[in-house]
Structure 1
Amino acid sequence: MVLDPQRWLELRRFRGLYESGAMSLREIAKETGLNRRTVTKYLVGEAPVAPPKRTAEGRQRRVVDEVAPLIDAMLRTEILLKASVIHERLAAEYGVAINYQRVKIYLQEARPRIAEALGISPGELAGLHRRFEVVPGAQAQVDWGDEGKILAHVGIPKVYSFHMTLSYSRDPFCYFTTSQDLASFFDCQRQAFVHFGGVPMTIVYDRTKTVVRRHVAPGEAVPLHPEAVAFAGHYDFDIDVLAAYRPTGKGRVERQVLIVRDHVLAGRAFSSIEEMNAAFSAWVPLRRAKVHGTHGEIIGQRAVRDHAALRPLPRTPYVVAQRHLRHVGKDCLVAFDANLYSVPARRVRPRQLVEIRATKSQISLHSTVPDAGGTTLLAIHPRAVGRGARVVDERHWDGLPKGDNRRVTTGDVLPLPRHERPLGAEAGPLQALLNRAAAANVEVGRRPLSVYDELTGTRPFTTNRTTKESS
């Protein structure tokens, strides 16, 4: 194998490390993505000082050249995109199996070339971003915080914090919850709208699965979740999805997550979600009384202008429900989210498929086929908190055997009919079996063992009879 000049320059950097013993030939081959024999050839000294120049016509096509247009397109979208991210996307989105080092080496040549074509310098822009300001009511930013096991001592394994911040005033909203599912996500936003007294024109989101239906290649339109589209249409705001790996696009709410954690949660103990939310509500006036370091105004005074510019709330709230299909068990219970919910035994059959519509606080179970009255609703339950709970309406088991009508007898006397039994003579289930005194009074017939020998024919019954038969 003959190296092209660029690869030779890349390999030459390791000559000093090899000669000093800092790196072995195997490590250099792994780092450069070259074959070990090639590394040995050019570093041990058998090869010429520099490889011969090759013409464009004689240049061998590299593996990375096949995906070079894709890499260039990603760099045009985000010039600072990391090599590990590009390598991951090539494998996940395009099914390209290529050595990571080849991608990394190609980026050393491609990044300056594309940056020059775009008129930017990637070295100068690293770690920098463009600051923006908005008018009152124009934008809010949303983010999640993971508060960990702060309520583990009361049986709640995980707590999350939902945050929404108005971009103009930095007025905060926070709500603590035990789930990040679809219903909880949009329920938190409804409460944020009530807290602010209106709806902003635009809300900025991460590429979370509750907003984005699936991830796409850079430059392509992002497909939104149907429930997110319906929710935004109901409240009349626009969805703004950030580019991947751009947390600075919502830095206002990112900072707010840390502020709430420091001022509301740090150094305190809570016993419920309600206590945590009450602690935030008590802290909000203190926050609004502060002078913000960026816009230089009191947050509460600036928030008055921000709230006044918000769009009004609709008359009816939009209820987001997760929809799932589940089978009915033989015990008339349906499993959802690691909990069990009952359905009426008279309206279902084992293994029947039912639809679950789950909101943040309620679970409704529906038949997939309407009944004679045109209704599909089978049952409504409050949503269980945590895992392993069983939410049962005892009326759903009406008509099923309960086991309380089983009777036993000692066998000597047949039990009297129910209408002939005296008052107070009712015995509980299996009472006779458990009553040892009654069982001890039962008379058992006693017979000598010779009777059984006679019946089975194993031995004559008497000696005289035996003598006659033998004669």
Structure 2
Amino acid sequence: MSITPELTAQILRYHHAEHWPVGTISSQLGVHRETIMRVLTQAGVAPNVPAQRASGVTPYMPFIEQTLKQFPSLTASRLHAMVVERGYGGRPDHFRHIIARHRPRPPAEAYLRLRTLPGEQCQCDWGHFGHIQIGQAKRPLMAFVMVLSWSRRIFLRFFLGAHMENFLRGHVQAFESWGSLPRVVLYDNLKSAVLERKGQAIRFNPALLTLAGHYHFEPRPVAPARGNEKGRVERSIRYIRDNFFAARAFSSLDDLNAQADAWVAGAASQRRCPEDTKLSVQEAFEQELPQLRELPATPFSCEELKIVSASKTPYIRFDLNDYSIPHTHVQRSLTVHASLNEVRILDGQQVLATHRRCWDKGAQIEIDAHLDELVQHKRAARVHRDTDRLVHAVPQIQTLLNEAAKRGEPLGRTASQLQELLDVHGRTPMTAAVADALDRGVPHPNAVRLALERQRQQQTPPPLGVALPEHVRERDIAVRPHSLDGYDQLIGNQDDAND
């Protein structure tokens, strides 16, 4: 802590003139005791410090220092167990503080400030910026950052994951954004760049070597534990995190990248260039452009390639979602070619389907024609099954269907109606009815139905004669009605006699 000359004079005055002890000066001025003792020591005054009690660990300090000198990384817990076996009775937490003060520390390493020539080098790395929710999918939000080492020109692009294809896309888009590229690209030892490293023996990722061969740059990993060698990109990521992403609102990944492009072209390019503070980053970039190398005539292809297996349903699974395919290609191995916006499904060189890419989870992306063709195929298969049953029961039905087809009759409906007639009347009557319809030259289900009805009428038995007994036959004799006037006269005469 640095103190003002006025405060230094005040501390000395209270000590010499007022004879205040160190504790009193500290409490009254609000200054730490060690600061007051340092001021008095620098003034040639030995402050009165109360004698400290002897610590219980003091007898063991020679053993502790000797052990730490031989094993500098030995843990405090192990040292505590060793001195406890030798009679120490102190607590482990207090012992850890003692070891922290006496543990030998390696001298701090000094780093040279690395300087590069214009157009010579850029540095590249990923930055993790949390997650983004798209429908049911929670995807990592990763920032691909590449910065030119001399001008500090930044390229920033956000991706949904740090996949190798996105790593390659970041390179291509950065080079296209600058319209050129440097001679060397510097990497940390991330798996997208370095698969394995043993000292100076480095096994690069083959996809990165293919990209480097296309653009003719040198991929160069930094030495292990040498953060200063790629400090420009690390500081750029921290700058992006603090000055661009903090409290940033965006509606989609495309919106976020559009805002990033505007920020890179604006605020990030107007800041002072560390290599030459008289220049802005934009001005330094314009001076560096002539030293950068030209791009090749054709860009590098960064499509994702994946072998997938189609199951019994007309879909393939790719990146958490299902994409439809023609039903004729189920239960096969197919190839997916995917960009950030499009998914193409191929069988060899034949393109089966092209879909928009979906970043959701568990979605079904369909082409209506694929499902319509499957429905028609199922219906045709059902018609074929019905026809096979009919022909097996009544072989002449095949001739009737052929004739019906020549007349343009719908075969599905014809087969369905014939099947209904066969189920009701049976095989033998149906055979005769079909033959009758063919003889009449009318290959239609209605002709077969009429023939079946005529068969039923012809098979109705004639009325039977019944012999009736005599008394029953007499009941059917006609009876001549008689006049009832005589009965009226008899009734009238009887009434007169009573009078």
Smaller-chain TM-score bracket: 0.5 to 0.7
Q: Pick closer, same or farther for the CA change 1:209–1:238 going to 2, 3 Å.
A: same
2:134 matches 1:185: no
Structure-to-structure mapping, 1:247-286, within 5 angstroms: 247-283=227-263, 284-286=265-267
- Using the size of structure 2 for normalisation, the TM-score is 0.54
Query: Hey, what's the Cα distance between the residues in 2 that align with 1:311 and 1:29?
Result: 55
2:214 matches 1:234: yes
Tell me which of the two structures has the higher relative contact order, counting C-alpha pairs closer than 8 angstroms and 6 or more residues apart.
1
Partner in structure 2 of residue 339 of structure 1: 321
2:305 matches 1:323: yes
Shift of 1:199: 1.1
Q: Which amino acid aligns with 2:229?
A: G
Would the aligned equivalents of 1:355 and 1:365 in 2 still touch at CA under 8 Å? yes
Query: Hey, what's the Cα distance between the residues in 2 that align with 1:267 and 1:156?
Result: 20
Shift of 1:148: 1.3
Question: Could you list the per-position Cα deviations for residues 381-439 of structure 1 after superposition, in whole angstroms to 9, with x for gaps in the alignment?
Answer: 332213222222233345423788999xxxxxxxxx94799xxxxxxxxxxxxxxxxxx
Would the aligned equivalents of 2:64 and 2:79 in 1 still touch at CA under 8 Å? no
Would the aligned equivalents of 1:151 and 1:270 in 2 still touch at CA under 8 Å? no
Structure 2 residue runs without a partner (length 5+): 1-59, 67-73, 89-102, 384-411, 417-499
Query: Hey, what's the Cα distance between the residues in 1 that align with 2:163 and 2:154?
Result: 22
Would the aligned equivalents of 2:196 and 2:204 in 1 still touch at CA under 8 Å? no
3-state DSSP class of the match of 2:115?
A: coil
Question: Could you list the per-position Cα deviations for residues 2-31 of structure 1 after superposition, in whole angstroms to 9, with x for gaps in the alignment?
Answer: xxxxxxx9993299xxxxxxxxxxx98962
2:365 matches 1:391: yes
Shift of 1:303: 0.7
Query: Hey, what's the Cα distance between the residues in 2 that align with 1:215 and 1:278?
Result: 36
- Using the size of structure 1 for normalisation, the TM-score is 0.57
Partner in structure 2 of residue 173 of structure 1: 155
Larger Rg: 2
Q: Which amino acid aligns with 1:386?
A: D
Q: Which amino acid aligns with 1:395?
A: A
Structure 1 counterpart of 2:375, from 381, 394, 401: 401
Q: Pick closer, same or farther for the CA change 1:14–1:168 going to 2, 3 Å.
A: closer
Question: Could you list the per-position Cα deviations for residues 151-184 of structure 1 after superposition, in whole angstroms to 9, with x for gaps in the alignment?
Answer: 6799764322111111010011111222221222
2:63 matches 1:12: yes
Partner in structure 2 of residue 356 of structure 1: 336
Query: Hey, what's the Cα distance between the residues in 2 that align with 1:316 and 1:238?
Result: 19
Query: Hey, what's the Cα distance between the residues in 1 that align with 2:363 and 2:415?
Result: 45
Would the aligned equivalents of 1:137 and 1:201 in 2 still touch at CA under 8 Å? yes
2:283 matches 1:301: yes
Q: Pick closer, same or farther for the CA change 1:150–1:181 going to 2, 3 Å.
A: closer
2:273 matches 1:292: yes
Partner in structure 2 of residue 414 of structure 1: none
Query: Hey, what's the Cα distance between the residues in 2 that align with 1:215 and 1:257?
Result: 25
Shift of 1:220: 4.0
Structure 1 residue runs without a partner (length 5+): 1-8, 16-26, 46-107, 113-121, 408-416, 422-471
Would the aligned equivalents of 1:182 and 1:320 in 2 still touch at CA under 8 Å? no
Q: Which amino acid aligns with 1:146?
A: H
Shift of 1:234: 0.7
Structure 1 counterpart of 2:78, from 31, 35, 38: 31
3-state DSSP class of the match of 1:134?
A: coil
Q: Pick closer, same or farther for the CA change 1:420–1:236 going to 2, 3 Å.
A: closer
Partner in structure 1 of residue 293 of structure 2: 311
Would the aligned equivalents of 1:154 and 1:271 in 2 still touch at CA under 8 Å? no
2:181 matches 1:207: no
Shift of 1:289: 2.2
Would the aligned equivalents of 1:28 and 1:39 in 2 still touch at CA under 8 Å? no
Query: Hey, what's the Cα distance between the residues in 2 that align with 1:291 and 1:168?
Result: 12
Would the aligned equivalents of 2:150 and 2:275 in 1 still touch at CA under 8 Å? no
What is the number of equivalent residue pairs in this alignment?
306
Structure-to-structure mapping, 1:430-445, within 5 angstroms: none
Query: Hey, what's the Cα distance between the residues in 2 that align with 1:195 and 1:29?
Result: 54
Would the aligned equivalents of 2:317 and 2:323 in 1 still touch at CA under 8 Å? yes
TM-align CA RMSD: 3.7
Structure 1 counterpart of 2:107, from 116, 123, 147: 123
Would the aligned equivalents of 1:227 and 1:320 in 2 still touch at CA under 8 Å? no
Q: Is the deviation greater in 396-405 or in 256-265?
A: 396-405
3-state DSSP class of the match of 2:266?
A: helix
Would the aligned equivalents of 2:137 and 2:361 in 1 still touch at CA under 8 Å? no
Would the aligned equivalents of 1:142 and 1:163 in 2 still touch at CA under 8 Å? yes
**More helix by percentage:** 2
Partner in structure 2 of residue 149 of structure 1: 131
Query: Hey, what's the Cα distance between the residues in 2 that align with 1:28 and 1:235?
Result: 50
Q: Which amino acid aligns with 1:13?
A: I
Question: Could you list the per-position Cα deviations for residues 251-309 of structure 1 after superposition, in whole angstroms to 9, with x for gaps in the alignment?
Answer: 11111112222222223311012222222222223332222345313211111121221
Query: Hey, what's the Cα distance between the residues in 2 that align with 1:171 and 1:189?
Result: 14
Partner in structure 2 of residue 216 of structure 1: 197
Would the aligned equivalents of 2:273 and 2:284 in 1 still touch at CA under 8 Å? no
3-state DSSP class of the match of 1:287?
A: helix
Would the aligned equivalents of 1:162 and 1:175 in 2 still touch at CA under 8 Å? yes
Question: Could you list the per-position Cα deviations for residues 55-105 of structure 1 after superposition, in whole angstroms to 9, with x for gaps in the alignment?
Answer: xxxxxxxxxxxxxxxxxxxxxxxxxxxxxxxxxxxxxxxxxxxxxxxxxxx
